[in-house]
Amino acid sequence: MTKVRRIRCVKAALDCGTAKLCAWTNVQREHWEGDLAVEGNLPAWLNGTYLRNGPGLWDVGEHSFHHIFDGYATLVRISFNQGRATGAHRLIQSEAYKAARTHGRPLHREFSSLCPRKPGSLLDRVRNIVGLSSGTALSDNANVSVLPLGDGRVICLTETTKSSVLIDPDTLDTIGKFHFTDRLWGLLQSTHPVVTPTEFLTLLPDLFRRGHRVVRMAAGSNERKVLGRVHCRGGLAPGWVHSFAVTENYIIVPEMPLRYSVTGVLKSELTPWYIFDWVPESGSYMHVVCRSTGKTVASVEVPPFMALHFINAYEQGDDDGGTGVIIADCCEYYADPAIIEALALHRLRSPGINKDAFPDAR
C-alpha cells in the first residue's frame, strides 16, 4: 500500500507564521495557484478535486473583524492528477468584499456586526432597522458553503439569500449572482442546504410568523417552490437553523432554544449571543416534514440542545414495513451556546486563552 506522509504548500503559498495558527490568519494574496510539495508518493489512482469555502480575510484597512464568521469568503482548491498535487485559493468577489477593498473598511454588516456595538442616536437605530429589513445593510459575503448543483453549476452561500453566488470550480472565478426567479420574499436562508442530483432543499426563516418555509428547487432551475411550512412551538421567534437533516422520505427541522433576537435587532443592540437569545425554558423540538406532501407529520419535544451541524439521518423500518424510527446524528454541545463565543478570533488566535474554552460535544 502506498503511504502519503504529508502534503504541504510551497513556501510562496504559505506565509502565515506559526503553522498551527494559519487557519486564523489572513490570506496574503487575493489569488494564488501553484504546485504543492508532496512528501512521499501519491497513489496513481488518486485523481480529482477538493473544494473548500470559508472565511480567509478578517482585516481590511484599519478595521479588524471580531468573529470567525465575519471573514471574507475564500475558496480553496486542491487537485490530484497522476501523482501530482496542485493548489489554489481565490477570494470570492462579493459586493461586500469589493466595497471594503475600495473604501478600506467594511460597508456591510457581517455576522457579529448585524447590530452596532454602540446603538447611537434614535436616527441611527431607525437607519439600522431600515437597512436590515430591506436587506441593503446585509452582506452578500458567501463564506460558508460550496455546493455542486445537480445541473453542474457550483454555488457558494451563507445565511443571507443575497449571498448566493456562482463560481467556476476550475479557475475559482466568481461568475456572478445566483438569481432566484421566484418571488419568495426572505432575507435569510439555512447556511447548509441539502443538494441531491435532482433537487436543492433549504429553509427560509420567518422572524415574524415564527417558523420556517421548507423550499425545493429542481436541478437546472432557479425557481424555489414552497414544499411546506414548519411552525415553531416555543419562544417569541424561530430557532436558529444553521443546518438540518434529510432522509429518503422526510426533512428534519430542528428548533433549538437559541432563537433570533427580534427585540435586539429592532433596538439595534447586540445580545450576549450576538443577534440570538438563549431561551432554554422556551422548549426544544424536532419537526418532521414529509418530502412528498410537505406536511409536518410529527413535532417531538426534546431536551434543550445546541447543535450547529447535522451529520447524517436515516430511517429504520417497523414490523409492518413502514417507517418506525428516524435517526438524526448531529454534533451537540450539551445545551451550551458558548461554542458561539468560542469562535471569536481573539480566542482562536490565543490558544492559552482558549484552552478548555470549547464546550464539550457529543
Q: Binding-site residues for Fe cation, please?
A: 192, 242, 309
Q: Which of 307, 232, 304, 292 is nearest to 262 (CA)?
A: 232
> Which residues lie across from 109 on neighbouring strands?
138
Q: Which of 256, 248, 242 is nearest to 326 (CA)?
A: 248
Contacts 24+ apart (CB under 8 A), 131-138: 132/187, 132/265, 133/187, 135/160, 135/162, 135/187, 137/108, 137/109, 138/108, 138/109, 138/114, 138/162, 138/187
User: Which residues define the annotated binding site?
Assistant: 192, 242, 309
Distance between CA atoms of residues 163 and 78, nearest Å: 24
* 264: phi then psi, degrees, rounded to nearest 5: -60, -40
**346, 54, 218, 229 alpha-carbon torsion, rounded to 10°:** 0
Residue 193 contacts residue 180 (beta carbons within 8 Å): no
DSSP 142-154: --SEEEE-TTS-E
Q: In this structure, what C-alpha cell is assigned to residue 358?
A: 470549547
Q: List Cα–Cα distances, 341 to 50, 228, 274, 320, in angstroms.
A: 29, 33, 9, 47
Distance between CA atoms of residues 325 and 114, nearest Å: 40
Instruction: Kindly provide the residue ranges of all beta strands, DSSP E only, lying in 207-283, ordered along the sequence.
Output: 211-218, 225-231, 245-246, 250-255, 258-260, 276-278
H-only helix segments in 95-183:
95-103, 122-134
Distance between CA atoms of residues 362 and 355, nearest Å: 18
